[in-house]
A = this chain, B = another copy of it.
Amino acid sequence: MEKFEVKILGCGSALPTTRLNPTSQIINFRDNLFLVDCGEGTQLQMRHMQLKFSRLSHIFLSHLHGDHCFGLIGLISTLGLLNRTGDLYIHAHPDAGKVFRPLLDYFCAGLPFEVVFNPIAPQTHSVILDERSYRVSSIPLKHRVPTCGFLFEEKPGLRHIVKESIDFYQVPVKMLLPIKEGADYITPEGKVIANELLTKPANPARKYAFCSDTAYTESIIPYIEGVDLLYHEATFSEADKARAKQTMHTTALQAAKIAEQAQVKQLIIGHFSARYTDLSGLLAEAQSGFVNTVLAKEGHTYRV
């Protein structure tokens, strides 16, 4: 299976602590790096985790709260010092360009690359990136400011050749690609060999969904149904449910309910409030609603 994994750089919430950094994570899809959110210190976390800055071309910002974007200007500045080249895309709310462009102009004049702000409409489910092997789209969330999650979808790969059948039917090499793409093989005698006899199914296309920050909302379920891995915020425990509602965040149990209803394969909970020094209570609470739950852990890599 080709690489498709998520590395957590920060899984704390607004108030940074000595234990947790603000939100950011790296999606590694076949050695292309995508950064989701960029709290203060993201570039330092990337260094600590020895991630290759040069492989980063797309940054996705869920919303414009400081704990999700205060690291952006420092990261871009460093990418400049490192002489990175190639356009750098920031997919974010239209205000992002308005807010950060003046900073770039003031602090990062003469960058060796273009910074392209791609305005996205956080309140719609829209395709942001559509490439040969993957697609990224937005997931409308419910928070105090316009916010969206992100769905990273692998596109179905080619079917796998069954070497024995290919040899048996003496299929010429030039026919292999169409056959991998699903074509039947027609012999020189005109006999049709069904594709199913020549190939095995492609690897299943995997999906990862990032949903933070958000109040509990079942409206996201259609977008994340059946994903292999869901990162969902769980800022609070049920004991602080009123505070969760007031600040438009989710409890660990609510995150589990979303995972359960959407029938995802695995749930990572994160964006923990600074008030919880021991996260095992949040984990237990989520697992009571959805067994296959794990805690986000900074520096840890999760396979999609």
Contacts and interface: CB of A to CB of B under 8 A. Distances in A.
Interface string A69-113: 011011001100110000000000001000100110011100000
A107 B65 contact: yes
A71 B42 CA distance: 12
A246 to B, nearest CB: 15
Interface in A22-71: 40-41, 43-44, 47-48, 64-66, 70-71
A18 B40 contact: no
A186 interface: no
A111 B112 CA distance: 37
A14 B108 CA distance: 12
B70 A66 contact: no
A106 B66 CA distance: 10
Contact of A18 (B16, B47, B73): B47
A44 B44 CA distance: 12
Contacts of A219: none
- How many protomers of this protein does the assembly include? 2
Given A66-B73, A66-B77, A48 B103 contact: no
Interface string A154-190: 0000000000000000000000000000000000000
A15 interface: yes
A124 interface: no
Contact of A78 (B16, B41, B95, B106): B16
Contacts of A21: 44
A77 B71 CA distance: 13
A65 B80 CA distance: 14
A17 interface: yes
A66 B82 CA distance: 15
The 5 closest A-B pairs by CB, nearest first: A40-B74, A70-B74, A66-B77, A66-B107, A41-B41
Given A15-B81, A70-B107, A102-B102, 16 more contacts: A14-B81, A15-B78, A15-B82, A16-B44, A16-B47, A16-B74, A18-B44, A18-B47, A40-B40, A40-B44, A40-B71, A66-B108, A70-B73, A70-B74, A99-B102, A103-B103
